[in-house]
Structures are given as structure tokens and as C-alpha cells.
Chains A and B, each alone.
Chain A
């Protein structure tokens, strides 16, 4: 079944880079991009148990006359039939509802703030809430279009890390790329991490796609991140369970997003594997 990726198009050079990244992801994954060109500065996303209002940075409404052409040009160049999304439902006349039934969503690091603010170490509050509430993983793109050649999964043994690993395996299988796992050794020993993977029945699926499993046993996690290839799609889980973890992004996640500029595919706590 054709899976879909939701992309909110920003008619700016940064928006072009983000759409190119979405297109690349869709091509590699066999996913269809659905592009929404906003007409209003805000929209609502009704998730299963939460409603998220996204207040867009005004640059999303730049030059509406050329927005459709620009988006269509990029899609057509990639030989993808343009599918532009038009909202059917409105909570208020200037407040459209965007469906949440997509399989992926692409976001820059922030969609509510000026692009000048976007940089390493910053993921906007709306993007965080989407990640927290969504059943789909969110692709946070690098500032400049950057094709990725392999998959890097950060695995710390938690339930979310297992989800991220499952997602990484799926992407590796669909794209045919190899998958590398990175673990900062903490409470567990490497063999215990392997045992967790085995217990979850992921050892066999990993057999054919696993490149290497790197255990960082020394040094600071941030420093060790230098080992992650610059052209890898980094797959990781965010947020945990419990009151505090529900609010915080997760310390590992914060360190990763503050340190590396790769494309990130983040599976939140509600992420559910489809297919």
C-alpha cells in the first residue's frame, strides 16, 4: 500500500532544501509525498489524545503566487506526480485541520520560528509536540539538502530505542542500505545490549543489514558522535514514559540533535510501526 509523507512547504530557499530532502526520502522509501502549501499562518493537527496547534513562521506564506509552481517543479523534476493537499476541515475559518493519518512527516528543526533562529541544538516546541503526539516518525532535515547513504541507529536499550531500531531495520530493508548501530555504554555491558536486541527478536532481521555495532565505552557521548558518518540518516527514539520523561525530549536525544547536523528520523513515544 502506498505510504505517504506529509510535507509543509515553505516557499524559501530553506524550504526548497527541506522539500528536496523529503523527495529524496520518498524516492528511497517508495513513499508518496503529500505537500501542503499553507494559506494561513496556523493549523491544527488532531492526534489520538492531543491537539497540536502549529503557528507557522510567516515565511511559510511567502509569495503564494510562486509557491505552487516551485513545489511542483521540484516534484516533477524527481518524476513524482505532484499531490498538493487542500484542507477540507476547518476548526475556525482561518484554522485548517491537517490530517494525522500519514506514515511520515517532514519538518525542519522549527516551523514556528524565523529560519534565522534554526541551528544545531534547537528543535522548536511545535516540532517537539508533534513528535510527542504522532504515531508517525518525523524526518527532521539538515539545513542543506544532503542525500544519505546509510542508516545509523542510536540504541540505548529503552523501549523507544527498540522502536527506533525497528524503524531503522525497516528503512534499511526498503532502501537496501546497511545499518549501523551506536551505543554509549552505560549501565549495561555490550553483551547485555545484544541480549536486549535478541530478546525482542531483532537479531535475525539485523543479520543481513547490520554493518557494525559501535559501543562507545569511553569518552563523552557528544565527542563520540564524531564517529557517526556525515551521510547517514540518523534514526532515534525520543521521549520516554513517565511524567518527567513525557516532558523532556531525552538527554541522549538532546545531545545528538545539538551535536550532529545529519538528517534525523525521530520516532516518538506513540510511534506505531505500520506494514
Chain B
């Protein structure tokens, strides 16, 4: 019985999967895809129920406090009940993938679902997509942990969870797959693509089975002309500017909120009440805003140029207030709303300035604006393109879609080199994509590079005795330790004894203590390898002593580092 349990716990050791684990990953991908799809649907249903229930109360004046109550409850739930660090979660998933082989906490598989339901359901301006990505990724990670899968397999299942969740919530398998690879893993390898694709299919099937095969924003056919494609350049610029504005507003409000000396839940409530007050006058600014998108894509939005521009700007403000002050949710849905209204504004501007020109229906520009915003803020053009194609069910807009996504991503990258999800990680030096210099160096430790075949000498040793040691050693560096307490006192390099080497009279007159260099740059066992390399480069040093608590532990050299670096790089990139 015990043996059976052990076998079940370590499926990677089964003979079927030992030589090639692709089949194993596919089986787990199906399970992860189904679970993350279910998680996405649970959140979706809960949100629908909550929004429907609260809809009747929206006309009351006190409804302006509903988003405040939701945000406060969401913050309290995260802080006091599940003890999570707040946030919408995607950066945490990327961080775990980058640094810890995709290890995520079990509580993350449900915490953000509940907290985002409270925030968005009460009217906060946020989307459910990032919470379901967090949830799906945590489900994948914990399934991998339960079955003792290795780091690479775990990372693949984290990607599967994210793909399954996005695929289920949007009924969009390709978007789920592309999002997981482009944004979460940042690595296009066949080993990952296959299970992620399978998980995306599983997630989508769960969604279709329980919710029906619905296209979120179905639209009529658009008759796109060449002048529309040209105009897309202008639209892409507007989308890029809106993306940058949203990124900066979110971060600014987050920093301002962090500086306020009040409990987190009160800060979230303040942000929520501001959102509620704005939403009382402009209901489009509340919630996930899918209804507004549908109206915009159908070309049935009745407001003028000023109103649609104001809605886009106000949505940026309410999203920043909701998420920046501590509410829980994602930026996907708000980006779609903002993008749709940026598209509408731009179309109305064109129609006003060049009224004689024949423009495509404004719904098309709303749709292109959504792609521009998503591509810009995530700096993930493929995700933007595929998501819009799948959620609108139209391939006819592919050409302008590519133009808008590509230009918007490029401009955003020029103005903000890191995407919204990656910005904090890049600033903290924590974005370690596989195969990059930082990642390879992080995965190596000084301990494994330590060269311990050095012969220690003591300061009172005569040069003659030291020469005897040099003869039996193949190293150029010799650490000097105090004879009594074995404390590290300095280093001798072969060059240091060269002047005395051919003068036998000095062999019995000079002591090693007189020759040693006492101002040696040392490194400690827990130093970062990138810092060690920097020290070596600055001092033009090829080898450094590793010292801990004044004890010499060994040497670290560039040659060994390069050797291990190459091996690690081959492991990470799968090239042997």
C-alpha cells in the first residue's frame, strides 16, 4: 500500500514517463486546464450573481459607498483572513516562475477569486482576468508540488493554469496559450507549448460545456478601406498614450496610497468611495464594463466625442483608484473598456475632421482600440491580437489589428521599457527570464563554484618552506591564515614571491607574512554572483578568496564560473 502511494506521489519516476515526460505533462495539463477553467467560471458566475443582486440598489444615493465596502472587505479578507500580500497577482506569478521554479502558495488558488469578486461585484473598476490567472497558476503549481514534479514541469503547469483560466473566461484558447507563453513564462519552447495548448483547450471546453459557446463581443462584418488602415497609426499612438497614462496613474496612486498612514482596508475604502462617487454620475466607470464594450462595438454608443473621451479618462482614473488604493482585480477588462472608448473617440475625431472621407463603422475602431490598449500595457502584441480576434469572432480586422498592436507595443516600450506587470520586477532586478545572464547567475551559488584545493600557509612561514609548498601545488594563489585562530589574514600570489625566488639568500630571511597582500578583496558565501563578477571586472581580478566569519573557505575564479555558467545555460535553454 505504502509503495503504491509512493508511486502515485512520484509519477515522474514511472517507466512510461522516465525517458520523455511530455505525455505526463499533457495528462497533468488536462487536469490543470479543467481546474483553472472551473475556477474562472466560479468567479464569473459569482460576479454575475453579485452584480445582478446589487443592481437594484444602484439607484439609491448610498450606493456610492458600495465600491468602498467591497474594496474594504476585499482588503480585510486578503490581510486578515488569508494573510496574502495584496495585488492582482500576475507579477507574483511571473516572480515565482522567474525565481522559484513556479512555487506558489495553495491559498493563492482561491484568495484572489474571493477578494476580486468583492471588489468588482461591488462596483470597483477592475477585471476578473488577473485573479483567475493567479488562481489557475496556483492550481497548476500546487498540483505539481503534490506530485513532486521538478522545476521545469512545475513551471509548465503554472503556464497551463494561466492558459486554462484565460481560455475559459474569454472562451479564447489561443489567447490563453499565447498569454501564458508571452507574458507569464516569457519563453517559447516546444516543451511548454504543447501542455499549455492542451490546458487552454481543456479550459475552453469546460467553459463551453457549462456556459455555452458564446463569443463575448460578437459584431457585424466591417468593410475596411486603405484609409482606415492608415488611420490605425494615429489610433495606435492614442492607445499607447492611454496605456502609459494608465500605467503611471496606477503606480502613482499606489505609491500615494502606500504613503498614507492608515490601515490598508481604510485606504481601499477611501479609493472605493471615490470610485463610487464618480460612478454615481458616470456608471460606465464602474465594474468590469463589458456592457459598455458591447455598445461601443455595435456602434450604438450615443454620446459625442467629448463624452467618450471623458469616459476613457475617467475609466483610467477609477481603475487606478480601485487597484492603486488596495482593491483586488486585474487590468484586462478595464483596458478593454478604455481601449474601446479611445477607439470611439479617435473615430469621432476623424469623422469630425475629415467628414468627407469614407470611414469604417466606429465599432471597428473600438475593437482596434481594445487591442492597442492590451498590447500596449502588457507589451505583448500577440496576446492583444489573438484576444481581440477570439473575443470578437472576427478575422476580417486582422490587418489593422496587427498594425495597431505592433505600433502601440513599440511606442509603449519606447516610453516605458517594462510592461505594467514587469515594471516592479525589473526595478527590483527580479525579472529573471530563462537563458538570461541574470537568471543563470541567480541559479548558480558561490558554494557550488568554490575551489577548495588551495593550500593555506601561515604568516610566520619562511620563504624556503613556502617555495616547497608552491612546488607541490598547481595554484597561483595561497591564502594566509593565522596559525593560532585560523583567521584569514591575507593572500600571496606567485608574482609576490618572484623577486625573491632566484635569490637563495632571501629564502631564509623573508617570511610569508612580509610578502602577503593584506588588502585583498574578498567575497562572502551569500553574495550575489552578479556582484562578485562586478567586483572582479572592476578590479581586473580573475580569482577571489571566499571568506566567512574571517575564515577562508576557498577561491572563486572566473574560469570555473564560466564553465558552470555554460552548463547552466545549456540546462535552461534545453540545448545540450
- Shortest Cβ gap from B399 to chain A (Å): 41
Contact with B along A56-86 (1 / 0, CB 8 A): 0000000000000000000000000101000
A2 touches B83 (CB 8 A): no
A188 contacts the other chain (Cβ, under 8 Å)? Answer: no
A195 contacts the other chain (Cβ, under 8 Å)? Answer: no
**Assuming the A-B contacts A2-B525, A81-B549, A241-B6, are A46 and B100 also in contact, with contact meaning beta carbons closer than 8 angstroms in the complex?**
yes
> At the interface with chain B, which of A89-97, A171-179, A224-232?
A89-97
B85 touches A101 (CB 8 A): no
- Shortest Cβ gap from B440 to chain A (Å): 17
B148 touches A49 (CB 8 A): yes
- Shortest Cβ gap from B27 to chain A (Å): 19
Q: How far is the CA of A1 from the CA of B30 in the complex (A)?
A: 47
B2 contacts the other chain (Cβ, under 8 Å)? Answer: yes
Q: How far is the CA of A93 from the CA of B86 in the complex (A)?
A: 9
Q: Which one of A32, A49, A53, A101 has the greatest number of beta carbons of chain B within 10 Å? A: A49
Picked from A89, A92, A241, the residue with its CB within 8 Å of the CB of B99 is: A89
- Shortest Cβ gap from B252 to chain A (Å): 16
Picked from A1, A50, A92, A245, the residue with its CB within 8 Å of the CB of B145 is: A50
**Assuming the A-B contacts A2-B548, A46-B100, are A55 and B145 also in contact, with contact meaning beta carbons closer than 8 angstroms in the complex?**
no
- Shortest Cβ gap from B364 to chain A (Å): 40
Residues on A with C-beta less than 8 A from B84 are 92
Q: Which one of B83, B148, B525 has the greatest number of beta carbons of chain A within 10 Å? A: B83
**CB closest chain-B residue, reference A88:** B528
A91 touches B85 (CB 8 A): yes
B525 touches A92 (CB 8 A): no
A201 contacts the other chain (Cβ, under 8 Å)? Answer: no
**Assuming the A-B contacts A2-B548, A2-B551, A243-B9, are A93 and B85 also in contact, with contact meaning beta carbons closer than 8 angstroms in the complex?**
yes
A2 touches B549 (CB 8 A): yes
Residues on B with C-beta less than 8 A from A219 are none
**Assuming the A-B contacts A92-B86, A94-B85, are A242 and B148 also in contact, with contact meaning beta carbons closer than 8 angstroms in the complex?**
no
B105 touches A51 (CB 8 A): yes
**Assuming the A-B contacts A91-B96, A92-B86, are A242 and B445 also in contact, with contact meaning beta carbons closer than 8 angstroms in the complex?**
no
**CB closest chain-A residue, reference B424:** A93
B83 touches A55 (CB 8 A): yes
Residues on A with C-beta less than 8 A from B548 are 1-2, 32
B103 touches A46 (CB 8 A): yes
- Shortest Cβ gap from B507 to chain A (Å): 34
A42 contacts the other chain (Cβ, under 8 Å)? Answer: yes
Residues on B with C-beta less than 8 A from A92 are 84-87, 92
Q: How far is the CA of A245 from the CA of B548 in the complex (A)?
A: 39
B148 touches A91 (CB 8 A): no
A242 touches B96 (CB 8 A): no
Residues on A with C-beta less than 8 A from B107 are 53
- Shortest Cβ gap from A275 to chain B (Å): 12
Residues on B with C-beta less than 8 A from A83 are 549
- Shortest Cβ gap from A234 to chain B (Å): 27
B430 contacts the other chain (Cβ, under 8 Å)? Answer: yes
**Assuming the A-B contacts A2-B551, A242-B6, are A95 and B85 also in contact, with contact meaning beta carbons closer than 8 angstroms in the complex?**
yes
B103 touches A51 (CB 8 A): yes
Q: How far is the CA of A99 from the CA of B6 in the complex (A)?
A: 28
Residues on A with C-beta less than 8 A from B258 are 93
Contact with A along B419-454 (1 / 0, CB 8 A): 000000000101000000000000001010010000
Residues on A with C-beta less than 8 A from B8 are 243
**CB closest chain-B residue, reference A51:** B103
B523 contacts the other chain (Cβ, under 8 Å)? Answer: no
B83 touches A42 (CB 8 A): yes
Residues on B with C-beta less than 8 A from A50 are 103, 145
Residues on B with C-beta less than 8 A from A42 are 83
B226 contacts the other chain (Cβ, under 8 Å)? Answer: no
Q: How far is the CA of A248 from the CA of B452 in the complex (A)?
A: 41
Residues on B with C-beta less than 8 A from A55 are 83
A49 touches B145 (CB 8 A): yes
B281 contacts the other chain (Cβ, under 8 Å)? Answer: no
Q: Which one of A51, A89, A97, A101 has the greatest number of beta carbons of chain B within 10 Å? A: A51
Residues on B with C-beta less than 8 A from A81 are 549
Residues on A with C-beta less than 8 A from B450 are 1
Q: Which one of B6, B9, B100, B445 has the greatest number of beta carbons of chain A within 10 Å? A: B100
Contact with A along B145-158 (1 / 0, CB 8 A): 10010000000000
Residues on A with C-beta less than 8 A from B430 are 89
Contact with B along A31-63 (1 / 0, CB 8 A): 010000000001010100111010100000000
**CB closest chain-B residue, reference A50:** B145
Those of A82-122 within 8 Å (CB) of chain B: 83, 88-95, 97, 99, 101
Pick the 7 closest A-B CB pairs, nearest first: A92-B85, A242-B2, A95-B85, A51-B103, A243-B5, A2-B548, A46-B100
8 contacts between A and B (CB under 8 A): A1-B548, A46-B100, A50-B103, A51-B104, A51-B105, A93-B258, A94-B85, A244-B5
Beyond A42-B83, A53-B83, A95-B85, list 6 extra A-B contacts (CB 8 Å): A2-B551, A51-B96, A51-B105, A91-B96, A241-B6, A246-B9
